[in-house]
C-alpha cells in the first residue's frame, strides 16, 4: 500500500487544481500597453487587434495602458496618435486611458510612486539588490572585457566584484543610501535554474538562468524599468493573458521569476508571443523605414515627427478603409483554417482563436493589402462612394450632381482599389479629352473613321431618349444594317469620347455625358484627328 500512498498526494493536487480552475473561472482581462515613443507601427496595431479579438471572443475586457516610463524617448503627441489609431481601426477600449476604470491610473508615469515600494520589497526578500556602480565605472568594465574579446554582462559571474549591496556590509549600504548616493535596483537572477513556461502559441519554452543578466528594475532617476512596471501593473490590473510581440520572448524568464519573487505565481497571466511581421521579401522584420523606401505605409495614420520634420505615410491618408486594413492585419499571422479571406469585425471575433496564430513570421504583402481595399470598395454602395468622391472632385473645381457621381461610381468601382482611383480613371467624364492616345489612334483610326462617326453623330442627335439601352439598340441596328462590324465603330467613338480605347461600356458613358457634350466631343475629335 505504501507506493499507492506516495503517489496519491500528487494525483490529488492535480485534481484539486483542475477543480479550482473549473469552479472559479478567471475573468478574461487583456491589455494593449504601447510606449508613446512615436507612431504606432502596424505590428503594434496587430497586437492590439489580437488582444481585442481575444477579449471579445471570450466576453472579456480590453484595456489600454500607456507605458511612458522611458522619459528620454517620450514623444508628446504619440499618446493621442495611439488613441486615434485604435478608434480608426474600430478597437474600442473597455478600460484604461481614454475610458477610465477602477484600476487606474492607466499611465505609468502617474503610477510612479507605486513602483519604488515593490522594488524595495524585492530587495527586502533577497530577490533584488542595490547597485552603486556609476555609468563611467560600468563603461570601463565593458571596455576591459571588450579588450579581451569578451562581453561584459552584469550577472552571477561578475556581480561579486562590483559595487552592490550583495558585496557590501549592511552599514555601508545604509550609509550610501543616507547620503543619497545614486543607485539602481537589479534583479538577482538565480544561479543555475531552468525556467519552464507554457506559451499559448509556442508551447513549452525553457530558459537557463545562468546565461541571463541581472536586469535593472528601478533606475537612478526614480523611474521603474519596463520589466518591473509591467509585472506590477499586470498583477494589480488583474490581467489574465499577456498577448504581445515575439521581441518580448527573451524577457519572459525574468517576468516569470518576478511573479514568483512577489509570490504571485498563482495569479500569473498566461503568455502568448506573436510572430514577427516580415519585410515583403521575407528577410527580417518589417521596419518603419521599409515603408517609406518601398512606397507603402507601415503606420495606420500619417505621423509627423515634430523633431525631425519627417512625415510617415498612413493607411487612412492613403485612402484605405479601416475595415480593409484590419482584415489584412488579422490574417497576417492568424489563419482561420478555412478558405475565407474577407471578414467583418464580428466575423473575426467569432472565428478568432489564439491556437491558430502561427509561430513563424508572416511576410507583409503591399499588393494583397490593395486587394483587400478593392474588395471592400466594391461592396460599398454607389451613394457611399459618391460621398467619398465628392471632396476629391470639388478640390479640382468640378461641379456635378450626386446622381451623376453615383452613376460614375457604379460604373468605375470594379476597376478601382481606392476612391481616388475612381476619380483618376473617370476624369474623362468631367473633362473632354484634349489629346488622344497615340497607339490607340494608330491602331483604330482608319481613313473611313471620320465618315462613320459623322453618320453615327446624326443617329445620336435624332435620339430624344438618351439612356444607354436606347442608344445601344439604335446604334446596333444601324451597324447591322450597314454591315460595319462593331470594332470599326466603337473604337474610334471611344477615342473621341474618352481620349483612349479604355473605360466602361461606351453607351453608359454617353448617357452620363448627355447628348450635347457627346456630340461636341465627336465634333472636336473629327477636327483634331484629320489625317
The set of catalytic residues is: 288
CA 490 to chain centre: 46
**φ and ψ at residue 416, rounded to 5 degrees:** -115, 150
The CA-CA-CA angle for residues 31, 268, 23, to 5°, reads 100
Looking only at the bridges linking them, the beta strands covering 277-278 and 303-304 are unpaired
CB proximity list for 235: less than 8 A, separation 6 or greater = 259, 262, 264, 267
CA 108 to chain centre: 23
Q: Could you give the count of Cα atoms lying within 13 Å of 393 in the half-sphere of its Cβ?
A: 26
**DSSP-assigned letters across all residues of 460-509:** HHH-S---HHHHHHHHHHHHHHHT--HHHHHHHHHHHHHSSS-SS-HHHH
Q: Which among 446, 442, 431 has a CA at the least distance from the CA of 498?
A: 431
Burial of 279 (0-12, 13-18, 19+ CB in 10 A): middle
Contact (CB, 8 A) for 83 and 192: no
Strands (E), 44-174: 61-64, 95-96, 128-131
Integer Cα distance of 359 and 362 in angstroms: 9
Contact (CB, 8 A) for 362 and 333: yes
The edge-to-edge listing of strands for the beta sheet with 216-218 is 128-131, 184-187, 216-218
Integer Cα distance of 129 and 344 in angstroms: 51
Amino acid at each position: 500500500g505504501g507506493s499507492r500512498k506516495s503517489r496519491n498526494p500528487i494525483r490529488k493536487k492535480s485534481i484539486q487544481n483542475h477543480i479550482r480552475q473549473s469552479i472559479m473561472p478567471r475573468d478574461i482581462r487583456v491589455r494593449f500597453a504601447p510606449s508613446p515613443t512615436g507612431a504606432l507601427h502596424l505590428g503594434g496595431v496587430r497586437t492590439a487587434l489580437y488582444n481585442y479579438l481575444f477579449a471579445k471572443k471570450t466576453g472579456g475586457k480590453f484595456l489600454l495602458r500607456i507605458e511612458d516610463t522611458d522619459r528620454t524617448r517620450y514623444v508628446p503627441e504619440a499618446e493621442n496618435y495611439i488613441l486615434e489609431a485604435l478608434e480608426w481601426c474600430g478597437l474600442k477600449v473597455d478600460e484604461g486611458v481614454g475610458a477610465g476604470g477602477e484600476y487606474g491610473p492607466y499611465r505609468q508615469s502617474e503610477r510612479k510612486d507605486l513602483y519604488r515600494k515593490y522594488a524595495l520589497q524585492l530587495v527586502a526578500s533577497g530577490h533584488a539588490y542595490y547597485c552603486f556602480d556609476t555609468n563611467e565605472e560600468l563603461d570601463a568594465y565593458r571596455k576591459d572585457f571588450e579588450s579581451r574579446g569578451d562581453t561584459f554582462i552584469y550577472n552571477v559571474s561578475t556581480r561579486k566584484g562590483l559595487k552592490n549591496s550583495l558585496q557590501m556590509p549592511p552599514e555601508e549600504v545604509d550609509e550610501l543610501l543616507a547620503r543619497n548616493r545614486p543607485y539602481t535596483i537589479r534583479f538577482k537572477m538565480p544561479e543555475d535554474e531552468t525556467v519552464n513556461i507554457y506559451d499559448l502559441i509556442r508551447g513549452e519554452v525553457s530558459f537557463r538562468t545562468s546565461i541571463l543578466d541581472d536586469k535593472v528594475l528601478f533606475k537612478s532617476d526614480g523611474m521603474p524599468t519596463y520589466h518591473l512596471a509591467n509585472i506590477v501593473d499586470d498583477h494589480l490590473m488583474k490581467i489574465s493573458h499577456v498577448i504581445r510581440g515575439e521581441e518580448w520572448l527573451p524577457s519572459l524568464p525574468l517576468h516569470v521569476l518576478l511573479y514568483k519573487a512577489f509570490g504571485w505565481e498563482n495569479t500569473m497571466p498566461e503568455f502568448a508571443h506573436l510572430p514577427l511581421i516580415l519585410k515583403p521579401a521575407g528577410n527580417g522584420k518589417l521596419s518603419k523605414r521599409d515603408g517609406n523606401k518601398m512606397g507603402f505605409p507601415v503606420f495606420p495614420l500619417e505621423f509627423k515627427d515634430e523633431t525631425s520634420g519627417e512625415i510617415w505615410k498612413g493607411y487612412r491618408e492613403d485612402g484605405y478603409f479601416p475595415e480593409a486594413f484590419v482584415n489584412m492585419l488579422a490574417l497576417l499571422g492568424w489563419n482561420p483554417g478555412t478558405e475565407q479571406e474577407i471578414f467583418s469585425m464580428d466575423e473575426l471575433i467569432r472565428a478568432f482563436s489564439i491556437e491558430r496564430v502561427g509561430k513563424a513570421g508572416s511576410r507583409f504583402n503591399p499588393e494583397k493589402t490593395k486587394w483587400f481595399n478593392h474588395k471592400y470598395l466594391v461592396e460599398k454602395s454607389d451613394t457611399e462612394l459618391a460621398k467619398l468622391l465628392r471632396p476629391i472632385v470639388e478640390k479640382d473645381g468640378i461641379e456635378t450632381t450626386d446622381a451623376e457621381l453615383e452613376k460614375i461610381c457604379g460604373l468605375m468601382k470594379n476597376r478601382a482599389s481606392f476612391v481616388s482611383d475612381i476619380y483618376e480613371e473617370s476624369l474623362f467624364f468631367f473633362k473632354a479629352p484634349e489629346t488622344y492616345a497615340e497607339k490607340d489612334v494608330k491602331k483604330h483610326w482608319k481613313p473611313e473613321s471620320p465618315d462613320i462617326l459623322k453618320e453615327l453623330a446624326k443617329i445620336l442627335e435624332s435620339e430624344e431618349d438618351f439612356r444607354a439601352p436606347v442608344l445601344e439598340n439604335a446604334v446596333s441596328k444601324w451597324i447591322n444594317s450597314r454591315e460595319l462590324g462593331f470594332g470599326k465603330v466603337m473604337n474610334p467613338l471611344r477615342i473621341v469620347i474618352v481620349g483612349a480605347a479604355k473605360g466602361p461600356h461606351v453607351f453608359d458613358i454617353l448617357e452620363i455625358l448627355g447628348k450635347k457634350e457627346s456630340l461636341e466631343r465627336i465634333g472636336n475629335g473629327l477636327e483634331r484627328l484629320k489625317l
